[in-house]
Structure 1
Amino acid sequence: MTTTLISGANRSLGLETARRLIDAGHTVYAGMRDLASAAEVQNVGAHPVQLDVTDQRSIEAALAQLPELDVLVNNAGVLGRSFGVDDLDADAMREVFDTNVFGVVRLTQAALPLLRRSSNPVIVNVASGVGFARSLATPGTDEHFVRAVPYASSKAAVIALTLQYAKNLPEFRVNASDPGYTSTDFNGHSGHQTITEGTDATVMLAQLGTGGPTGKFFNRAGNIDY
């Protein structure tokens, strides 16, 4: 049995990822900041775990509840409060990076001892095409219209740290996923993809075997060349 921990798993992409991986045979621990929404994950068969990726003690307490760990899905993320430059300051950047980047590092570092005991350790970092420079710079893409600096910068950092973790952990499969422009609470349900389409890449990467790719960036259509 494959044991999987997903951060930010109580709604939207995280909850759908949990549901699909359970259907694929995984035992899923669904991390969430507030256990008041535990019923949502229990309804899909996941085990709710209080997990705030901005709080080291919360992370350590969550991992202490896991008997083992094979797959870590770093899904928790925030959009932030700055959407241009007139409302941008260092605090706005820090707030987004604290969850989207530092949270990935905190949780991954704390999970490494458990993951290293697995015969097939896998890490999936949920990034975004908004963090991919080519997409941001190309007119006509979903990402090109985005002006927010903190969110795009944080997801660019997630793609870079995925590459660096992959180089440092050659025995792991470490990859980043791009959900694409998916209809979720995150964007007021303005996205053109379904929630299932938005989790295709993450679910595929979470099921990689030992010979699978590592250090790559995937969307539902396949590998995105750097």
Structure 2
Amino acid sequence: MSAPKRIFITGATSGVGYEIAKQLIHTSHELWLTGRNEAILNEWQQQGAHIIPADLTDDHQRKHLIQNVPEVDVAILNAGVGTFSYAHEIKDEDMDTMIALNVTAPMKLTKKLLPIVKEQFIFIGSQAGKVATPKASVYAATKFALIGYTNALRLEQPNKVITVIHPGPIDSPFLDHADATNTYRQKMGSVLLSAEEVAKKTIQTIGTKKRECNIPWYMGISSKLYALAPSIVETIGKPFFNKK
């Protein structure tokens, strides 16, 4: 990633998106940032970024966003949300929110961005999209959907690089919303990734032809084993899977 690029980032006011912006803000790259926290966006603007506040689940705000984003080299679609709850207990509104922000929004946004993104799309997925776990049925479904979408997109857009980042659990504000019990962070302990680490790995894929990036790397192996022998992985991984 030697030459300066114009980079568009969604979800730039929290979690991984915030850390990506933080690590890029004082580089030679030109940043176009969106998110729902206007106070943080204004801080980015004071540091030289271009900002467009938007709720990506709102059709009118998404339309306004598209009308104001210029041609960019790279689009990093990071915005997402999760709620940990059993399938028979999860609230309908939480299901709707996850599907709207994790699935519908990036698909509709990508449709409009395709003509103006010159080089690369980077989607923030999840290991949950490869190996589902209890209390994450709907969240996992949204990330499985993203994998299917990007696999097809890659075939449809051979002149653009489609990269998907698949991190494991991250210690970020995402957990504050997802985990109503407030115990997951403690149970997972040192296994949790930092948002800074995921942001760094994501930035390293800019300008490459990388198809996907598994963080940590060994989770890429476990997901391949799961595809081959799901029952065995579910049995061995049960103590880990039930930490939510």
TM range, smaller chain: 0.7 to 0.9
- The aligned counterpart of 2:122 is 124
TM-score when scaled to structure 2?
Answer: 0.75
User: Sequence identity, in percent?
Assistant: 24
Structure 1: give runs of 5+ residues left out of the alignment. 137-143
Provide closer, same or farther for how the CA distance between residues 171 and 30 of structure 1 changes in structure 2, counting only shifts above 3 A. same
1:118-197 equivalences under 5 Å are 118=118, 121-133=119-131, 136=132, 144=133, 146-188=134-176, 190=185, 192-197=192-197
Equivalent pair of 2:8/2:31 in contact (CA under 8 Å): yes
Query: Residue 110 and residue 131 in structure 1: after superposition, are their counterparts in 2 closer, same or farther (change >3 A)?
Result: same
Structure-2 residue corresponding to 1:203:
203
Q: What CA distance in whole angstroms lies between the structure 2 residues aligned with 1:193 and 1:155?
A: 18
Could you say what secondary structure the match of 2:123 adopts? Answer: strand
Partners of 2:16 and 2:218 in 1: CA distance: 18
Q: Distance in 2 between matches of 1:108 and 1:71?
A: 12
State the AA in 2 paired with 1:218: N
Structure number with larger C-alpha Rg = 2
In structure 2, the gaps of 5 or more residues are: 177-183, 225-244
Deviations 1:130-158 (A, max 9, x none): 1112xx4xxxxxxx5x4221111111111
CA shift in 2, pair 1:221/1:55, >3 Å: same
Partner Cα separation in structure 1 for residue 213 and residue 143 of structure 2: 12
Q: What's the secondary structure of 1:54's corresponding residue?
A: coil
Q: Distance in 1 between matches of 2:33 and 2:218?
A: 26
Cα RMSD of the aligned pairs, angstroms, is 2.5
Q: What is the deviation of 1:33?
A: 2.3
Moved more, 23-32 or 10-19: 23-32
CA distances 1:13-64 after superposition (whole Å, capped 9, x unpaired): 1111112233443211111124243234336543221122212322222232
Residue 27 (str. 1) matches residue 30 (str. 2)? yes
Does the CA contact (< 8 Å) of 1:131 and 1:153 recur in 2? Answer: yes
| TM-score, structure 1 normalization | 0.80
Residues 213 and 38 of structure 1: is their aligned pair in 2 closer, same or farther, counting only changes over 3 Å? closer
Q: Secondary structure at the match of 1:88?
A: coil
Return the structure number with greater helix share: 2
